[in-house]
Structure 1
Amino acid sequence: MMNKYIKSGTLIAAIAVLFLSIAMKPKPKKVIFFGDSITQQGMRANGYISLLKKKVDSTKFELIGAGIGGNKVYDLYLRMEDDVLNKKPDLVFIYVGINDVWHKLGAKTGTDYDKYLKFYQALINKIQAKGSKVVLCTPSVIGEKKNGTNEIDGDLDKYAAGIRDLATKNNLPLCDLRKAFIDYEAANNTEDKDRGILTTDKVHLNEAGNKFVAEQMLPFIK
């Protein structure tokens, strides 16, 4: 009878230890990538978010894509509650701006510079107010020719400079994709092509582009 109680007590103790270890096990830190179609495509098999998932410890980090094609900065603001804040992330990458500049061509539905920065600052304020950390990303390229020779490089440089200023003003880390892409193109785009080096269509990332973006973002996660 005594052995029976001892065995029973040992089993209960083992179960208690198991539940305690599960309860004490730290939850993985939640990282959200908030953006447009570049981010949406980042969740594909060879997309930059999928590549990052292979580079980090899945027990320590949960990476979530929150990109929607065609989005501009105010679209992110309108869906921020559902797609970011309600998920209670530890870290948020804000990567938006290509459409705000690119859509000034053709459709003429881009975002004015002043409005772009105001909405961007509002994103920062609301995300930080919930206790999440933020990484700002400058918009990369709209055309891969030497800097200054693509159709709207001037605007893109201006908007990227605005993001750098916001990073300084808010004392936030900056993933300067604009500069990284320009430097890479200068070194690797010897034929001065407008696409095919890091992008498929001047904007969206090819395999090399996804690897490159993943490399730029990885240090901010680790």
Structure 2
Amino acid sequence: MKRLSSMFLVCSALALFSFAPAKKKKVIFFGDSITQAGVGPEGYITQMKTMLPADGYDLIGAGIGGNKVYDLYLRMEDDVLNKHPDIVVIYIGVNDVWHKTSHGTGTDLDKFEKFYRALIKKITANGAKLILCTPAVIGEKKDGENAQDADLTKFSDVIRKISTDTKLPLCDLRKLFMDYNLQHNTENKEKGSLTSDGVHLTKEGNAMVAKNLAEIIAKQ
């Protein structure tokens, strides 16, 4: 009888364990005002919640307007490491280029790469998987006609190289947005297609980011 009781308890425990809900993967989106807006009603993080299983992922925005790569490095411990995420999406670079003309600041390319690689090293050591993103656009005109296209492409090339070196997945938003505007921006407007002001995303721009990031996250 005691043996039967013990077997019953073991089977019951195994049954409860098998029906226990799987732990959600915690995903932190680490970036600037584009990510800050990503948690809004039409933001890319909000839209992504309809693309990924609700019981499988906990999507957390950690974007602050005006941030550059070194701002992310300075707040990484509080906003990322201490929260012990399973996946971190790094989406930064626009302000590192844009602020050179808009604010007289910005980030030198070599320093951008050093801070970016330092972010990866710290976050990886904390146990999280990483997804990298290139910055999309500063102006939506085609064929390199935006004032900061050349610089933004250089910064994107650095992120592509880091992705190759580290074998980390890349969401190449720069290429996606440029390809889209080449095909659809027939009037060659600076804004109004995927962005509201040349930088910050419209509902359609957010949808493009959400769709492509969700596909990568689902594979992690």
Give me the TM-score of the superposition, normalised by structure 2. Answer: 0.91
For structure 1, the residue ranges without an aligned partner over 5 or more in a row are: 1-8
Residue 142 (structure 1) aligned to one of 132, 138, 141: 138
C-alpha displacement at 1:109, in angstroms? 1.0
Q: Give runs of aligned pairs for residues 37-48 of structure 1, distance below 5 A.
A: 37-48=33-44
Aligned counterpart, 1:202: 198
Q: Give runs of aligned pairs for residues 11-22 of structure 1, distance below 5 A.
A: 20-21=16-17
Q: Give runs of aligned pairs for residues 1-222 of structure 1, distance below 5 A.
A: 20-21=16-17, 24-222=20-218
Q: 1:104 to 1:58 in 2, by over 3 A?
A: same
Distance in 1 between residues matched to 2:116 and 2:151, nearest whole Å = 16
C-alpha displacement at 1:146, in angstroms? 0.5
Distance in 1 between residues matched to 2:153 and 2:84, nearest whole Å = 32
Distance in 2 between residues matched to 1:168 and 1:201, nearest whole Å = 31
Q: 1:70 to 1:20 in 2, by over 3 A?
A: same
CA contact (8 A) 1:147 1:153 kept: no
CA deviation vs aligned residue, 1:114-162 (integer Å, no higher than 9, x gap): 0000000000000100111101100100000003100010100000000
Larger radius of gyration: 1
More displaced stretch, 177-186 vs 18-27: 18-27
Instruction: Give the SS at the match of 2:101.
Output: coil
Q: How large is the RMSD of aligned CA atoms in angstroms?
A: 1.8
Distance in 2 between residues matched to 1:19 and 1:203, nearest whole Å = 52
For structure 2, the residue ranges without an aligned partner over 5 or more in a row are: none
Distance in 1 between residues matched to 2:217 and 2:144, nearest whole Å = 32
Q: Which amino acid aligns with 1:68?
A: I
Alignment coverage as a number of residue pairs: 209
CA contact (8 A) 2:45 2:61 kept: yes
CA contact (8 A) 2:134 2:173 kept: yes
C-alpha displacement at 1:21, in angstroms? 4.2
CA deviation vs aligned residue, 1:91-110 (integer Å, no higher than 9, x gap): 11100000000000032110
Give me the TM-score of the superposition, normalised by structure 1. Answer: 0.90
